[in-house]
Every structure is written in structure tokens, then in C-alpha cells.
């Protein structure tokens, strides 16, 4: 089965839309092949502002209908406690909210952007999606991340080479409570590093200390801008260090 055939079988769909590579291509395909489609973007504490900006831009460029839903994921104590299966509880809350909004709009089929490269056995959030009967057309049609990037480039989507981006909660170690203050500090730090030209990096925090993870070829750029980075990040964290086990 290909995507065109999927949407022929499922002509009216609601899409959980993040603005990332996968859900962006899924939304593009839905605008081409589905009879009716609507994107739902959940704005919560775990998503940085640039993700919302990208989602708005992509939806506008596609002429797609998009609704922004505001959700406080930290209102769920099981999410805030940050257990090993935090993603399960977070996905449950988010997708239940999307499903209700979609049902109010007359949709019975809810989609997400999980692709064929994603390991379903190692992602607690996958369990939540299965329990809520969320369909994953990219996965069902056998489309891998590399193929989705290639197809996105051919389609002219600006998201085709967008780096993978895990939610802000992943910057805080399992078992350490997640607070809005910690997430805001991480987002500010990462936004600042982006202005200096860094890409595909993470600012991880534990106990109020920051640890920067970079691709190896960007280490020289960090050292060149060390004083700027320290001056900014020391206003947000007790200490700042560079993780020599760089991101690959």
C-alpha cells in the first residue's frame, strides 16, 4: 500500500502535527490525496517556540487547516515525576485531547507521523498510540526516515533537512522532577546556541547543571565562542560543561 491508496481508504483524517519532518510530509500527502484533512498542533511545556513557528509556516505553505490546542502536560503528576515511561503518560494525555478535538470536528480517524524507521519496541509512547487506535500511515506504507526526507525535498518542503528534535523533557534525567522553570532554562539556552549557528545539539540538565552535547565538528565553534556561551548559560544554570561524548 502507498499513501495515495491509504487516503483513498481513509478519505477524512485528523493529523497529530508537530512540524517535524515526518508529520509535515504526512500533512503534505493528506492535502494531496485525502478528501478532508485537518492538522492539530498541541502547544505544551515540552515544545519550544520554534516548533510552533515551523508548524504554522508549513501549514500556511500547504494551505492546510491547522488548529492549535493548548495543553499543560505537567498538570499530570505522572508526567511531572519523570519516570522511565513518562512518554506513555504524556502521549496518552496529548492524544486523548487531540482525539476529542478531532471528534468534535467530525473525524473518526486520527493519524501520527511514526515512520518505518522508528523502533516500536523501545518507545513507551508507542503503547499509548496503539491503545488509542492512532494510525501511522508512514509506517504502514513502509516509508523510512531517509525516504521521507528525500520525498519531502522533492515536494519542496522546507522541513526536508530539519534535524531530529526530541521534546524538551528528554533533557532532564529520568527520575528528576520536571518543572516549567527547568524547561524554560533549557529552551532559552538552546535558542541562544542556535543564534550562534549550532545545529543538532542538546543542552541537558541535572540538578541545575548544564551539559552541552554537540556533533564533533562543532566543538571548535563552541571553543571559539566559549566566553559568550558561558556568559549566557551561567545566568540559567549553576555550571556549564561540554560532553566529550559528542552527538553522532
- Each residue's pLDDT tens digit, 104-133: 999 999 999 999 987 665 577 778 888 889
Query: Would you say residue 158 has pLDDT above 90?
Result: yes
Separation in Å, CA 222 to CA 190, 198, 213, 225, 228:
13, 8, 11, 5, 9
User: Taking residues 67-76, what's their average pLDDT?
Assistant: 96
Q: What is the pLDDT of residues 2-44, one digit of tens each?
A: 999 999 999 999 999 999 999 999 999 999 999 999 999 999 9
Q: What is the mean pLDDT of the chain?
A: 94
Long-range CB pairs of 213-219 (<8 Å, 24+ gap) are 213/243, 213/245, 213/246, 213/247, 214/242, 214/243, 214/246, 214/247, 215/246, 215/247, 215/248, 216/246, 216/248, 219/246
Query: Would you say residue 86 has pLDDT above 60?
Result: yes
pTM for this model (two decimals): 0.91
% residues pLDDT > 70 (the chain):
97
Cβ count near 145 (within 10 Å): 15
Which residues in the chain belong to E strands, given as ranges? 12-16, 36-43, 66-70, 110-111, 202-206, 209-213, 240-242
User: Taking residues 64-88, what's their average pLDDT?
Assistant: 96
Helix then strand then coil, in percent of the chain rounded to 5, is 50, 15, 35
Going along the chain from its start, the domains and CATH numbers come out as: 3-161 (3.40.50.620), 179-242 (3.30.70)
| DSSP labels, 109-153 | -EE----TTS-GGG-HHHHHHHHTT-B-HHHHTT--HHHHHHHHH
Amino acid at each position: 500500500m502507498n499513501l495515495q491508496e491509504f487516503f483513498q481508504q481513509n478519505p477524512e483524517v485528523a493529523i497529530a502535527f508537530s512540524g517535524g519532518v515526518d508529520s509535515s510530509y504526512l500533512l503534505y500527502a493528506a492535502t494531496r490525496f485525502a478528501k478532508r484533512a485537518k492538522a492539530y498542533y498541541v502547544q505544551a511545556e515540552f515544545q519550544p517556540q520554534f516548533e510552533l513557528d515551523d508548524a504554522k509556516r508549513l501549514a500556511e505553505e500547504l494551505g492546510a487547516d491547522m488548529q492549535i490546542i493548548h495543553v499543560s502536560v505537567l498538570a499530570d503528576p505522572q508526567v511531572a515525576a519523570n519516570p522511565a515511561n513518562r512518554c506513555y503518560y504524556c502521549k496518552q494525555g496529548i492524544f486523548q485531547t487531540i482525539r476529542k478535538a478531532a471528534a468534535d470536528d467530525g473525524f473518526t480517524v486520527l493519524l501520527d507521523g511514526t515512520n518505518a524507521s522508528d523502533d516500536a519496541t523501545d518507545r513507551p509512547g508507542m503503547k499509548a498510540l496503539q491503545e488509542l487506535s492512532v494510525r501511522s500511515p508512514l509506517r504502514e506504507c513502509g516509508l523510512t526516515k531517509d525516504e521521507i526526507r528525500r520525498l519531502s525535498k522533492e515536494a519542496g518542503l522546507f522541513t526536508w533537512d530539519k534535524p531530529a528534535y526530541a521534546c524538551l523533557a528528554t533533557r532532564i534525567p529520568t527520575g528528576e522532577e520536571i518543572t516549567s522553570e527547568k524547561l524554560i532554562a533549557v529552551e532559552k539556552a538552546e535558542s541562544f546556541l542556535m543564534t550562534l549557528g549550532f545545529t543538532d545539539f542538546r543542552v541537558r540538565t541535572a540538578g541545575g547543571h548544564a551539559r552541552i552535547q554537540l556533533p564533533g565538528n562543532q566543538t571548535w565553534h563552541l571553543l571559539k565562542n566559549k566566553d559568550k556561551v558561558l556568559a549566557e548559560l551561567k545566568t540559567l544554570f549553576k555550571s556549564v560543561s561540554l560532553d566529550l561524548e559528542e552527538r553522532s
